Chain A
Amino acid sequence: MARVRAERQPAATGMTLVVMVGLGVAFLLFMALLNVAKSGNLLNESNLLYAALIFYSGAATLYLGFGVTGTPSYIRFASLATWAGLLANTGAVAHRWYEAGHPPFASIYEMLLSFVWTLAVLTLIAEKKYGVKVIGTVTMPVAIVGVVLMQLLRTDVHPLVPALQSTWLHVHVTLAMLAYAACALSFALAMMFLIQDRMTTETFLAATSLFSMATYLGILTRFEKWGGLSVVAWNPQEKSEVFIAKGVRLLVVIPELGWLMMVVLAAVAAPLVLYLLWRKSNNEGLLDMANRAVFVNILLQSLALVFFLLRARDGRYGSLDAEGLFPTSLAASPFILAGLVGGIFVSLLYLLLLWRRTDLERMLPSADELDRITYRTIAIAFPLLTLMIAAGAYWANRTWGSYWSWDPKETWAAITWLVYAGYLHMRITRGWRGRRAAYFAILGFAVVMFTFFGVTYLLPGLHAYA
């Protein structure tokens, strides 16, 4: 049934989506242009970034359209939109670089700028060189989240503190971004492999639920007594976090938000519980309920996001560590925001899989091919990781007089390196292929994510800048 529909659909709706997206992009650009015409400054960074956002959104819509219907012409236009977005993004990077006088890697904002750029480049490479056309369905929404986050974060050029004024830092961070982007790609490919390797949709359901649970548990590490949620205080004048001591940020408590997150945690855990019950009893009704629960989750998660946006955007809150009320801002909590958006996105991807699995399978390269490409991506990521650690060590040696001081970020970078080293050994000497290798690649990326977000967010250390 599904197959018949999928094959008929393109003929019927062929160009409609392309035309609609084209019109949408043109409309948004036109509106933006009208605004810009008033201010007179056409090619500044925020305009370029806005243009990139519009093009990436268009590309994401078309990629998703391809993901759902499989119409080949969408891909052509999607790549075109990606190219246009990349062009604008490159302009924004160049502008930033010129303005700041150093490569854009000094703050979270600048790193996101570079990360999105790398992601777009890798998407085009994966599409053109390896023929993994559907990859944009995953990477473009991520790029959009990145650009939206950037709009919220500080944009003014910030002078570099003395420790960061080093070429080696730029080398280190460039390599990190490249390596992490390659790891992200290998993760996406491993996931696609699992789809092609006939991993059951139910398993993906459990994984989705598990991921969302981990996200909300991470957020709830900031749960305070009386149901509040701690977020970092933000100084709107200086556009920076408020520190009470070196490396210690001042936290303010947003009341009730903690309870809401608790409720959502329970809700995202429900599909996993139902899945486990289904495994025990084999009652198909439970599975149906679990799938419906995912749908409800998306609504609840959106609710959590909206509440968070409303309450954290402005307003002043009390703190447990200091007297008085302090403002906070979305820019002060990029990780919570990324977690909330990421959770919704993953659930949506699951629904895509649930509804369009056969079409997806038709469009993806074969399992063997995906397995090989995953390995090749890691073969790119691993040397980059090695060089990244080495450049970081060299920089630390010139700045602090020690190339290795077991600070949490360093240690986790080493752990990442070890996990991928493990993958390579298992694959090469033990001949691990297919599913086990894919799990390993997924584990590797989970560790990368923890190193990137978790360490900064949860653990103390020298890497206060990033």
Chain B
Amino acid sequence: MAGTIHQAGRKIWQTLSSTKTGVILLILTVVVSAGGTLILQRPVTDADEMQRAYSPQALRLLDTLGLTDVFHAWWFVMLLAAVSLSIVAASIQRFPNAWRYFARPYKSPDDNFRKALLFQQQIAVPDEEAGLSVAEKVFQTAGLKPERIVRQDSFSLFGERNRISEMAVYIVHASLLLIFLGGIVDAIYGWRGFVTLTRGEESSQVQAQNGSNHKLPFAIRCDGAGQENYADGTPKRWWSNLAVVERGRVVNTKEIVVNDPLVYRGIRFYQASYGRTGKVDKLLLTATSKTAKGESKEIALGLNETQSLDDDTTVRLAEFIPDYVVRDGQVYTRSEQLDNPAVHLMVSSKKSGKEVNVWMPALPGFEENAASRYSFEGKDVQMAYFTGLEVSHEPGQWAVWAGVILMSLGLGVVFYLVHMRVWAVPVHDARGQLFLWVGGTCNKNKDVFEQRFRKLVQEIESGIKVHSESGAQAPVTSMAGR
């Protein structure tokens, strides 16, 4: 019984760690992601637009299948998890072999290994020491750190470079997992939201993307916001002066612009939008008395603010409509743009308690302008502006950036560092002639390595020639190919 479970486990493990599974999962991910870009996605599309693009039945079907929010659907997350698992399994499966290479380099090659090696050459040498020391020097200059291997009965030489290259693939895979980990952490613990502030306003409530309210452990206050334009009128820069208020104290301030957020306790505030609220900040008016000749007064009113014009009369700004339209006996605003403004003032008298509706412009059916003791003329209007802040909390992003850096390094090693190994072993042939056997291997770019190896051999040969010429008579170099 335990055996069958064991076998089943083995089977699952083998399936999971095979390249085939990995490739199938990758293809699935590619197909599903591509589908997600072709079908409109709910989180980034207006509901109206979705309805315009698809028929109700189609939309219902797409919604049920989760195809309108592919990238947040549970099965997409499962797919990514399966890809991760497959990477982990494949890496674990292949790791021991690579680790052997890495941790226990093969330093003294035996006969079988020597025979099978692709790149090798025998060089005639006068004596063991001469051959090995020349080879040592040549290895050294080629950047292949040479190491003398002493066995009971023999000396040999081993040199290598870029052993890390054997591990690089695992570095890349680990970095990919690190990125996934960051993404998962953010998907679970991260959130995004939006907050709109006018000047002087303070808030600790953030409208989260899923519609709920998110309460911040501190408050954010806008001390000013603005827009600067290029000469041609296109926006150049939006900015907001933000202050972080914690228990009544300002603990941090920053002027943020697009691309440069305020970060406090891992929560980041981005400049996202800027515009008119459609509400009036200050309305400047000239009030002229109809009775006393020429007596006029400049007044500034905010919404619902009251000012007295004389001992008896007061005026209040009751409504400000930025873009008015009259329909069915009602005044509406069409937009928040200051295109077609209407002003509704209440002029009241203390003595008689009478209230008079004054409209600018005079809207028939609403205005009682004639009954007012003052006439009004609009001078200027200052609209209130808001700054829109994107708020996000992504605790996993550090894992993502670490993963990215690690991956860049790993890929550099994978593609550009070649693990090269060379050996030099003194051997005797059948007739007792002494040779230096030189062999080498690499883990990629064999053609480049072949050239390097040929050069190494040539250098050793010429080194030995010089050595034997400076020394006494020595056998003329003779070579034997592999």
* Shortest Cβ distance from residue A302 to the other chain B in the assembled complex, whole angstroms: 33
* Given A402-B394, A411-B33; A383-B259 close (CB under 8 Å): no
Contacts of B192 in A (CB 8 A): 401-402
B23 in contact (CB, < 8 A)? yes
* Given A379-B415, A386-B407; A159-B236 close (CB under 8 Å): yes
Contacts of A155 in B (CB 8 A): none
Shortest Cβ distance from B412 into A: residue? A383
* Given A386-B407, A418-B29; A372-B270 close (CB under 8 Å): no
A80 in contact (CB, < 8 A)? no
A465 in contact (CB, < 8 A)? no
Q: Are B38 and A162 in contact (CB under 8 A)?
A: no
* Shortest Cβ distance from residue A203 to the other chain B in the assembled complex, whole angstroms: 24
Q: Are A166 and B22 in contact (CB under 8 A)?
A: no
Shortest Cβ distance from B182 into A: residue? A403
Q: Are B259 and A398 in contact (CB under 8 A)?
A: yes
Q: Which one of A52-60, A113-121, A277-285, A419-427 is at the B interface?
A: A419-427
Q: Are A418 and B44 in contact (CB under 8 A)?
A: no
* Given A387-B408, A425-B19; A415-B415 close (CB under 8 Å): no
Instruction: List B residues 234-253 near A (Cβ within 8 Å).
Output: 234-238
Q: Are A404 and B411 in contact (CB under 8 A)?
A: no
Choose one: B183, B400, B411, B444; the contact of A383 (CB below 8 Å): B411
Q: Are B36 and A382 in contact (CB under 8 A)?
A: no
* Given A161-B234, A407-B44; A383-B19 close (CB under 8 Å): no
Q: Are B268 and A401 in contact (CB under 8 A)?
A: yes
Contacts of A461 in B (CB 8 A): 44
Contacts of A380 in B (CB 8 A): 415
Choose one: A165, A166, A406, A430; the contact of B71 (CB below 8 Å): A406
Shortest Cβ distance from A408 into B: residue? B37
* Shortest Cβ distance from residue A466 to the other chain B in the assembled complex, whole angstroms: 16
Q: Are B408 and A406 in contact (CB under 8 A)?
A: no
* Shortest Cβ distance from residue A335 to the other chain B in the assembled complex, whole angstroms: 17
Q: Are B391 and A401 in contact (CB under 8 A)?
A: yes
Choose one: B23, B234, B259, B394; the contact of A403 (CB below 8 Å): B394
Contacts of A397 in B (CB 8 A): 394, 397
A345 in contact (CB, < 8 A)? no
* Shortest Cβ distance from residue A402 to the other chain B in the assembled complex, whole angstroms: 6
B441 in contact (CB, < 8 A)? no
Instruction: List B residues 61-85 near A (Cβ within 8 Å).
Output: 71
A387 to B71, CA, bound (A): 23
* Given A399-B270, A401-B392, A414-B33; A386-B235 close (CB under 8 Å): no
Q: Are A404 and B183 in contact (CB under 8 A)?
A: yes
A226 in contact (CB, < 8 A)? no
Contacts of B415 in A (CB 8 A): 379-380, 382-383
* Given A159-B234, A372-B447, A401-B391; A425-B259 close (CB under 8 Å): no
A341 in contact (CB, < 8 A)? no
Q: Are B232 and A401 in contact (CB under 8 A)?
A: no
Q: Are B37 and A399 in contact (CB under 8 A)?
A: no
Contacts of B19 in A (CB 8 A): 425, 429-430
A139 to B405, CA, bound (A): 33
* Given A386-B407, A430-B19; A166-B33 close (CB under 8 Å): no
* Shortest Cβ distance from residue B299 to the other chain A in the assembled complex, whole angstroms: 38
Contacts of A159 in B (CB 8 A): 230, 232, 234, 236
Q: Are A402 and B392 in contact (CB under 8 A)?
A: yes
Contacts of B235 in A (CB 8 A): 161-162
Taken residue by residue from 26 to 45, chain B's Cβ proximity to chain A (1 for < 8 Å, 0 otherwise) reads as 11011001101110110010
- Identify the interface centre among A162, A429, A459: most chain B CB within 10 Å of its CB: A162
B257 in contact (CB, < 8 A)? yes
A97 in contact (CB, < 8 A)? no
* Shortest Cβ distance from residue A413 to the other chain B in the assembled complex, whole angstroms: 11
A217 in contact (CB, < 8 A)? no
A455 in contact (CB, < 8 A)? yes
Q: Are B230 and A382 in contact (CB under 8 A)?
A: no
* Shortest Cβ distance from residue A99 to the other chain B in the assembled complex, whole angstroms: 15
* Shortest Cβ distance from residue A221 to the other chain B in the assembled complex, whole angstroms: 12
Contacts of B270 in A (CB 8 A): 399-401
B404 in contact (CB, < 8 A)? yes
A407 to B43, CA, bound (A): 10
Contacts of A162 in B (CB 8 A): 235-238, 257-259, 271
A424 to B394, CA, bound (A): 32
Contacts of B447 in A (CB 8 A): 372
B368 in contact (CB, < 8 A)? no
Contacts of B401 in A (CB 8 A): 394
13 contacts between A and B (CB under 8 A): A161-B235, A163-B258, A380-B415, A386-B407, A386-B411, A393-B400, A398-B260, A401-B272, A401-B390, A406-B41, A406-B71, A408-B37, A421-B26
Instruction: A399-B258, A405-B44 are known; give 8 further A-B pairs, CB within 8 A.
Output: A162-B238, A165-B259, A379-B416, A383-B411, A386-B407, A393-B400, A395-B259, A425-B23
For the complex of A and B, the 9 pairs showing the least CB-CB separation, nearest first, are A401-B392, A162-B258, A408-B37, A406-B71, A159-B230, A390-B404, A379-B415, A383-B411, A401-B270
